[in-house]
Structure 1
Amino acid sequence: MALATRAAKPPSLIGSVWRSTVGKKAVMAVTGLIMLAYLVAHMLGNLKVFFGAGEFNHYAAWIRTIGEPFLHHEWFLWLARVTLSAAVVLHGVAAYQLSRRDLAARPVKYRGRGRGRASYATRTMRWGGVILGLFIVWHILDLTTLTVNPNAQEGRTYENLVASFDRWYVSAFYIAAMLALGLHIRHGFWSAAQTLGVGSPRRDRLLKALANGLAALLTCGFIVVPVGVLTGVVS
């Protein structure tokens, strides 16, 4: 007696997109832009540290009240954290899986100058991603949960930041991570533009200049804070 076979359930649209190489690149592009928007806002907020403890602590307290009274206290902050965490995880998983596919499809190393440059950029993105992942964990433990912060006073954001960056090795790690971030943004912004179909022969030069400008601006904007603490400008 023949057994009736059930029709295979067609894959969902989301599943199909995620399993494809193009879909993973699109996920990386969109999540990368989400993180880029956060970084710009975060950098501008960090620069308020140069206006003194009162200004910076007031800014840190204001972030927790965004959306009130429609949103409860800190709801906006937690929504931003959840969105950013999801973007980071999706970005990292997609990058890892694409890297595995790339290695499986190309067991023999590329030869030639052009391919060498592409390989160098890919390795930079991979190691830069690892450095940034480790930095994010440390940064959360240091200035969010205050687990490893030598000051660890709730609501004293300025004092906690100064206490953290006053340790030279923490500032050195932060600066190294920001340099990796700059390289990541420089290559990632360009790749995202190509993936999302924004690039064209007429716009490529502008996009490259924009990628370089954003990378330099964010790198300098973040690095100036620990440098300010180490030199005593922020104290």
Structure 2
Amino acid sequence: MAVTGAVLVLFLITHMIGNLKIFFGAESFNDYAHWLRTLGEPAVPYRTVLTLLEAGLVVAIVLHMWSAVSLARRASAARPVKYQAKKKSHAQGYAARTMRYGGVIIAFYVVWHLLDLTFFVVNPLGGDATPYQRMIADFDPSRWYITVWYVVAVLLVGAHLHHGIWSACQTLGLRTPRTERLLRGLSGTIAAVVTLGFVAVPVSITFGWVS
């Protein structure tokens, strides 16, 4: 779970950086989208590398969810009788409580996101528009509810990241009394930067700062 989580964190960071190119204008954003689809040309056909990366990402997501279910079942089997006294801990904090349900909501969001900007099924302009035009149309002020839905999903991703990165550091044996404060700060910083980076784009479009 920690390893697949690390793969997903790296994907989110690179995806966020790509999204931020929208602030450099339509040409920069469209060039980036075109570059993604032509990676490896002419050695390999159009979109081959991107398709392989997407397939690997799907595998990582499926393995991550499978690991979560397996660990939950193992924990339940290891302790079939509940504790008589409940003790609050970091693992029972807000982020931990949202991991399970937030993960389900994030999964639904990923499906919608793919239908919107990869397969163009739910995008207002469809597949004939440029990537920049589709993004602008998606978060048009008249579609404010899409922006709200996006922001809520990203906030859940942030909570998921904060708790997940910290847990992964413990799982991988990186936590020590000396590194604990650093790792807590690192997990919070990464979660905050990724959240702000993803939220900045739809909010800027909805408020007319990018058009």
**Given the two structures, how large is their TM-score scaled by the length of structure 2?**
0.92
What does residue 164 of structure 2 align with? 188
* Greater mean deviation of Cα atoms: 98-107 or 79-88: 98-107
- Counterpart in 2 of 1:169? 145
Q: CA RMSD in A?
A: 1.6
User: Residue type matched to 1:96 in 2?
Assistant: V
Call closer, same or farther: CA 1:154–1:107 in 2, change over 3 Å. Answer: farther
User: Which of 101, 110, 113 is the aligned partner of 1:136?
Assistant: 110
Residues 1:47 and 2:20 are matched in the alignment: yes
Match of 1:103 among 65, 76, 87: 76
For residues 177 and 154 of structure 1, what CA distance do their matches in structure 2 show? 27
Task: Give the Cα separation in 1 of the matches to 2:84 and 2:203.
Answer: 40
SS, match of residue 88 in structure 2: helix
**Which amino acid is the alignment partner of residue 159 of structure 2?**
L
Aligned partner of residue 232 in structure 1, secondary structure: coil
Pairwise CA distance, 1:103: 3.5
Does residue 93 of structure 1 match 2:66?
A: yes
Moved more, 85-94 or 100-109: 100-109
Is 2:91 aligned against 1:114?
Answer: no
Match of residue 209, structure 1, among 181, 185, 189: 185
Instruction: Give the structure-1-normalised TM-score.
Output: 0.83
Dislocated runs of 4+, deviation >6 Å: none
SS in 2 for 1:46: helix
Distance 1:33 1:110 in 2: 35
Partner of 1:227: 203
Alignment partner, residue 61 of structure 1 = 34
Amino acid at match of 2:54: R
Unaligned segments of structure 1, at least 5 residues: 1-27
Which of 82, 86, 110 is the equivalent residue of 2:55? 82
Shift of 1:206: 0.8
Structure 2 unaligned spans of 5+? none
Q: Radius of gyration: which is bigger? A: 1
- CA shift for structure 1 position 101: 3.0
Deviation at 1:110, TM superposition (A): 6.9
Q: How many residues align?
A: 207
User: Could you tell me how far 1:154 is from its partner in structure 2?
Assistant: 4.0
Structure 1 position 174, deviation (Å): 0.6
Matched, 1:33 2:9: no
Residue 132 of structure 2 is matched in structure 1 by 158
Secondary structure of 1:153 counterpart:
helix
Deviation string, structure 1 residues 121-167 (Cα, Å, up to 9, x no partner): 43211111111101001100111101011111346111111111121
- Secondary structure of 2:39's aligned partner: coil
The CA distance in 2 between the partners of 1:109 and 1:145, in whole Å, is 48
What is the deviation of 1:106? 4.6
* Aligned mates of 1:234, 1:146 — CA distance in 2: 21
Q: In the alignment, residue 188 of structure 2 is paired with which amino acid?
A: N
How far apart are the structure 2 equivalents of 1:64 and 1:189? 30
Amino acid at match of 1:208: R
Query: What SS is found at the alignment partner of 1:111?
Result: coil
The residue type equivalent to 1:83 in the other structure is G
